[in-house]
Amino acid sequence: MSDFYFSLPLLVRLIVQAGAVILVLFPIAAACSMAERKVCAWIQNRPGPNRTLAPLGGFLAPLGLVGRIPFIGPFRQQMGVFQLAADGGKFTFKEDPVPAHVNKFYFVLAPIVAMIPALTTVAVVPVGAYFSVINGQTVLQPVVLADVDIGILAVFAVASLGVYAVILAGWASNSKYAFLGGVRASAQLISYELSMTLSVIPVFMWINTPGGQGTLSLFTAVQFQSGVWHGFSLASLHGLWGVFYMPLSAFIFLVALFAETNRAPFDMAEAESELVAGFHTEYGAFKWSLFFLAEYCHMIIGSAVCILLFFGGWNLLPWVPLSTVAGWLHVADKPFLMGLVGIAIFLGKVFFSIFFFMWVRWTVPRFRYDQIMKLGWQRLLPLAIVNLIIYMLAIAVLQPTL
């Protein structure tokens, strides 16, 4: 199957890969919207969305029949699964107004610009691994659309372009509320990008041995966490997840990730109590939904990168790499099945991370804007610099002995 796929023309493969990204990320991002409301309801001790079946009509009428199936229908209704179909139909076919006072070209362009980085960064993020025989040797290969050696740099470079969508939407709306929301959001994103970048430098300083060939590959970062137990020695660090020997880096990255994805308590881009609805005040229907799909896509990719760097990627547990799990399940010689096992482990961690994002949103109150700026510039950034210096000295002392 793989030979047939790689025999296809490059343009065909690019179209297939782009379609796969959309067909995977869009449903997951939409499901996150529904899960957000269910998690919120669970935390607040209320049912949440569970009455979607009653008003379904028109082309959605066949879905209403599923609700009448014994046991299955009531369960799916209580879970709010059909909320996805209702939301999708509403945002797609609802009237999509464009206010007369906006700059129409940039007003329409902003949600498109928001989606492009969200859908592009996933191309360089590995989601699993499998064994492949190359020149008579068994080599672990990543499951990734584009296996580039500058993976983390590509993620940061492309993801940072999302700030243009926010400021463009606020400016093109020709509204003081939307413009203030765009300015606040752009200032926040730029501020926390510095801390996020500094937090991952120690990880790649530790991975790259002095004098060796340098790499910024996310796959290599997971491989460094894929060792087995070698007793109480420094060699066992190769199987330990990054969060255990670089907890401060993981903490800084996670806090910055909340700010970069505009998630509470850092959702200054919206701040409904202060700015009506922030940079997307003038938007509605499908264009409005694109901004939130982009936010959830960024949250998914950010969670994936955090897991790859600090939580073992597709490795089940510390010192229990994917190769060991594949041996237990007798799929090490079956690349397709081994890839599915790695993807399942990885997605399980990603979904738990998304749940953690939602948990924090409905638990921690929103910060004031001055508190966010103070935390970013006076607390997190100096902490990231000190963390970098400490690990730089530690790596210089310990790495030659590994």
Res 97 pLDDT > 90: no
Which amino acid, 184? R
Residue 265, preceding peptide bond in cis (omega within 30° of 0): yes
pLDDT higher than threshold 70 for residue 218: yes
pLDDT at residue 31, as a whole number: 84
**Residues 353, 306 contacting (CB under 8 angstroms):** yes
Give the lowest-confidence range in 90-94, 287-291, 323-327.
90-94
**How large is the average pLDDT for residues 144-149?**
86
How far from the centroid of its chain's Cα atoms is residue 40's Cα?
20
54: its two tokens: 């009653």
Given a cut of 60, whether residue 15 has pLDDT beyond it is yes
Residue 250 corresponds to which amino acid?
A
Query: What are the DSSP calls for 88-115, one per residue?
Result: HHHHHHS-----TTS-HHHHHHHHHHHH
What is the model's pLDDT at position 13?
Answer: 77
pLDDT band at 252 (very low <50, low <70, confident <90, very high): very high
Pairing of strands 128-134, 137-143: antiparallel
Any idea how long the chain is? Answer: 402
DSSP 8-state class, residue 317: B
Q: Which residue type is seen at 244?
A: F
pLDDT at 279: 82
CA-to-CA dists, residue 370 to 64, 89, 157, 266, 271, angstroms: 49, 39, 27, 11, 13
Closest Cα to residue 297, out of 170, 53, 118, 130?
118
Query: Does the pLDDT at position 160 exceed 60?
Result: yes
Question: What pLDDT was estimated at residue 271?
Answer: 62
Reduced to 3 states, what is the DSSP secondary structure of residue 173? coil
Per DSSP, the residues of 4-70 read HHHTS-HHHHHHHHHHHHHHHHHHHHHHHHHHHHHHHHHHTTS--S---STT--GGGHHHHHHTTST
Answer for the pair 188, 254: CB distance below 8 angstroms, yes or no: no
Residue 102's identity, in one-letter code, is V
Q: What is the pLDDT of residues 173-217, one digit of tens each?
A: 988 888 888 888 888 888 899 999 999 999 998 888 776 678 899
Mean pLDDT of the chain, nearest integer:
84
In the chain, DSSP finds a helix count (H) and a strand count (E) of 18, 2
Question: Chain centroid to CA 230: how far?
Answer: 33
Average pLDDT over residues 319-335: 91
Average pLDDT, stretch 98-113? 90
pLDDT score of 368 = 82
Check pLDDT > 60 for residue 62: no
pLDDT over 90, % of the chain? 32
pLDDT in tens, 286-301: 888 888 888 899 999 9
What Å distances lie between residue 371 and 144, 224, 368, 387, CA to CA?
A: 39, 37, 5, 22
Q: What are phi and psi of 282, to 5 degrees?
A: -85, 0
- What is residue 230's predicted lDDT score, i.e. its pLDDT? 79
Min mean pLDDT across 17-21, 237-241, 381-385 is at 17-21
> Which of 390, 388, 391, 384 is CA-nearest to residue 195?
384
The pLDDT assigned to 310 comes to 94
Nearest-angstrom CA–CA distance, 381 and 358: 25
- Report yes or no: 170 and 179 within 8 Å, Cβ to Cβ: yes
DSSP string, 356-367: HHHHHHTTSPPP
Which is nearest to 293 in space by CA: 92, 53, 125? Answer: 92
Sign of CA dihedral 324, 329, 335, 336: negative
pLDDT digits (tens, 9 = 90+) for 2-13: 566 667 787 887
Token pair recorded at residue 200: 């991952």
As a whole number of angstroms, the distance between CA 206 and CA 175 comes to 48
- Per DSSP, the residues of 313-355 read TT-SBTTB-HHHHHHHHT-TT-HHHHHHHHHHHHHHHHHHHHH
Reading the block at residue 29, the tokens are 């991002």
- What single letter denotes the amino acid at residue 213? Q
Poorest-pLDDT segment among 267-271, 368-372, 396-400: 267-271
What is the domain partition of the chain in residue ranges? 98-401
For the cut 60, the answer to whether the pLDDT of residue 88 exceeds it is yes
Contacts (Cβ under 8 Å, ≥6 apart) of 147: 126, 217, 219
- DSSP tag of 255: H
Q: Please check the confidence at residue 347 and state whether its pLDDT lies above 90.
A: yes
